[in-house]
């Protein structure tokens, strides 16, 4: 059991699947292996009866126009162009991880999962107290969401082997040195023991 924690209540737990979309997966050298890992994590969470939530980054025309030129994100978004438009297939959740009825799906226009979405409101409405994070990249959405979720008093777990960064050394540094200050870093193999079985 991670950190000798008692089993988590699935009814109070959500897995956040963040930025697993073709336009982001393309930054990785072994996206297929990562997708397989995330598929496994989602299957465990669904089997246990916990909530699954998806976060994707995508911009509508008004969102592009609203980014001030002083923002470091402005140049990155401009460079990506239509590839990050909300209507582009590149911004859809990857088909292997497709959301199901009852899942939460939010669209963001900044790095973290919370700042430009109503994710927190939707989680609170469902009584979610614990978040399990999987995302690309570790130095982007995962880092920002760990910080924000901890500040919002969620109990946070990061799936080390269901997250990735274009720079493997950065991934290792964050998961080993930084995230443990505000989150519990675990592997998918620990999920089944962490989540107590679902009972009706």
Q: Is the pLDDT of residue 9 over 80?
A: yes
Q: Domain 2-194 is classified in which CATH homologous superfamily?
A: Isochorismatase-like (3.40.50.850)
Residue 78's pLDDT is what? Answer: 64
Summarize pLDDT for 103-115 with one digit per residue, the tens.
Answer: 999 999 999 999 9
Q: What is the mean pLDDT of residues 169-182?
A: 98
Cβ density class 43-75: b for 16+ within 10 Å, e for less: ebbbebbbbbbbbbbbbeeebbeebeeeeeeee
| Whole-prediction pTM | 0.93
* pLDDT in the model for residue 176: 98
What residues does each domain of the chain span? 2-194
pLDDT in tens, 60-84: 988 888 888 888 776 677 666 667 8
Q: How far apart are CA 88 and CA 58, in angstroms?
A: 8
pLDDT of residue 200: 53
Average pLDDT over residues 17-42: 96
């Amino acid at each position: 059991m991670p950190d000798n924690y008692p089993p988590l209540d699935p009814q109070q737990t959500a897995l956040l699947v963040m930025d697993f979309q073709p336009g982001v997966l393309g930054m990785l050298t072994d996206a297929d292996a990562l997708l397989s890992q995330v598929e496994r994590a989602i299957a465990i969470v669904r089997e246990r009866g916990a909530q699954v939530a998806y976060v994707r980054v995508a911009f509508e025309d008004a969102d592009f126009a609203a980014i001030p030129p002083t923002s470091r994100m402005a140049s990155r978004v401009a460079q990506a162009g239509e590839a990050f438009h909300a209507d582009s297939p590149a911004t859809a959740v990857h088909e292997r991880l497709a959301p199901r009825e009852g899942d939460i799906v939010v669209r963001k226009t900044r790095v973290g999962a919370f700042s430009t979405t109503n994710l927190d409101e939707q989680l609170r409405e469902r009584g979610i107290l614990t978040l399990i994070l999987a995302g690309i990249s570790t130095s982007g959405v995962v880092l920002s969401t760990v910080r924000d979720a901890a500040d919002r008093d969620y109990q946070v777990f990061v799936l080390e082997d269901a997250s990735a960064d274009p720079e493997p050394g950065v991934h290792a540094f964050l998961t080993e040195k930084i995230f443990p200050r505000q989150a519990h870093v675990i592997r998918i193999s620990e999920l089944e023991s962490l989540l107590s079985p679902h009972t009706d």
